[in-house]
Amino acid sequence: VCMDYKSEAVLGEECANGRDMGFTGKQAIHPNQVDVIQRTFMPSTDQIERASRIVQGYEHSEQQGKGAYGLDGQAIDLPVYKWALKILKRAEKGGRSTQPAGEPSASA
């Protein structure tokens, strides 16, 4: 909780520190804090795109009877796949599109 509810800079720094330590959210004591918190903890476009590629690749690999596979020189296994699913779920809850760039959404 950031008690300095008037300073977006202080709150933003606290949120960024928490995010960098692996936290996915923060409590607010004032409505003015919500936007900064949501912006800071929302997965970035790059994170969403990478998570989407991981999920698609892993599911394709599983359909072929395999498990782990390589993506951009890195091994992608079940724990990484589960992490990517969590990123996409957080993005969806925040109203972000999780469709890979250039692909139409299911509702299109």
- As a whole number of angstroms, the distance between CA 107 and CA 105 comes to 5
- Maximum Cα–Cα distance for the chain, whole Å? 55
Residue ranges of the domains in the chain? Answer: 8-41, 45-93
Please give the single-letter amino acid code of residue 99: Q
Count Cα neighbours of 89 within 13 Å in the Cβ-side half-sphere.
Answer: 7
Options 20, 46, 72, 77, the catalytic residue:
77
What is the chain's mean pLDDT, rounded? 90
Asked about 77 being catalytic, the answer comes back as yes
What is the per-residue pLDDT for 58?
Answer: 96
55-87, pLDDT tens digit by residue?
999 999 999 999 899 999 999 999 999 999 999
Contact (CB, 8 A) for 40 and 16 = yes
pLDDT band at 94 (very low <50, low <70, confident <90, very high): confident
- As a whole number of angstroms, the distance between CA 98 and CA 101 comes to 9
pLDDT band at 99 (very low <50, low <70, confident <90, very high): confident
